[in-house]
A and B are shown apart, each in its own frame.
Chain A
Amino acid sequence: MTTPTSQNHSTTALPAGTPAPDFSLHSTPDQTVKLSEFRGQPVVLAFYPADWSPVCGDQMGLYNEILPEFKRLGAELMGISVDGVWCHVAFSLDRKLHFPLLADFEPKGAVARLYGVYRHDEGICERALFVIDADGVIHWSYVSPVGVNPGAEGILSALEELQSQPEVK
């Protein structure tokens, strides 16, 4: 098996070592989430093409199940797609998701563009993962073929690496 990093499908995705661009997006109709508010802990950004993927244990459903492990590693998880906030609310309720879905809806895909993971032809996000460290720097990124659920092993390895790094400050 090749490691996830060796089969990265986008050359434009922001690589490890880049400061993560800050953003503020709606998670519910009256709440916004600002990335920089999570300084001090790792953040996992999971860009995905669209809500309502039809398969059992789709990517967001899978991460929902693994969420306690992400939390144990001190990380916050956020899903991001270009779907609108009401669509996210319905999807999240239906799948009983316990983490926020952010609406990269207006201007459409602006945050995905900042991270280099917008598919211009289709107007959707790539299936892209970013693990951001406590200082707001991208520690690991990965873009999966859009039809392939990348699972969680890459995220878990990246978070474990962050945990095993000694505090610099």
Chain B
Amino acid sequence: MSNLAAKSQLTLPNAKRDHLQGKIDAPIVLVEYGDYECPYCGEAYPIIKAIQERLGDRLCFAFRNFPLVNSHPHAQHAAEAAEAAGAQGKFWEMHDLLYENQDALADEDLAEYASALELDVPRLVGEVLAGTHTGRVREDFLSGARGGVNGTPTLFINGLRYAGRPDATSLFAALTERSAP
């Protein structure tokens, strides 16, 4: 009933819209659907960083927003702040700061991180408050809901949902095994 090829297209990175680290044609492609206030995503953050370092050019990593706003009251604004930082060319810098400071994600904290990254703070805050990036975050969320995300973090390796544990050893094994010809 559902078109398998079309569905996995949802969970492969799209160079036109996604935030990417690495080349889109890298042999291993990892997409994370995450929430900046989710503790499990916080645990996955350093693991993914270490794996990126280990795999180097072989890995392309994309991050998409999946804020669980009823459980995590700061997740939506945090996601929009990262997108607003992205509009000023510093998505990943903000992404990292948010995961490194998960216990401080109130609006004033977001403004502080924007300032630390030497961004145009009034512009970033204005965009978050005006909901400039709400649509984009929702688009990420819905692509996840349609693609099989069932909680956060959900990881997709080369378009397929990773159902294993997000610890370094299991994830590394899955990433390197799936990329083998």
Contact = CB atoms under 8 A, between A and B. Distances in A.
Contacts of A161: 1
A22 interface: no
A149 B1 contact: no
Interface residues of B, number: 25
Interface stretch (B83-91, B95-103, B115-123, B145-153): B145-153
Interface residues of A, number: 27
Nearest to A63: B145
| Max chain B Cβ within 10 angstroms of own Cβ: one of A57, A95, A98 | A57
A151 interface: yes
Contacts of A157: 1-2, 146
Contacts, number: 73
B71 A153 contact: no
Contacts of A152: 145-146, 150
B174 interface: no
A24 interface: no
A55 interface: yes
A5 B146 CA distance: 15
Given A56-B38, A56-B68, A156-B146, A65 B141 contact: yes
Interface in A85-118: 95-98
A149 B141 CA distance: 17
A62 B146 CA distance: 12
Contacts of B38: 56-57
A135 interface: no
A15 interface: no
A56 B142 CA distance: 18
A96 B39 CA distance: 19
A152 to B, nearest CB: 5
A1 B8 contact: yes
A105 B162 CA distance: 36
Contacts of A58: 151
A95 B146 contact: no
B151 A56 contact: yes
A3 interface: yes
6 contacts: A1-B148, A57-B152, A62-B150, A65-B68, A69-B142, A98-B70
5 smallest CB-CB distances across A and B, nearest first, come from: A151-B150, A57-B151, A149-B150, A96-B70, A153-B148
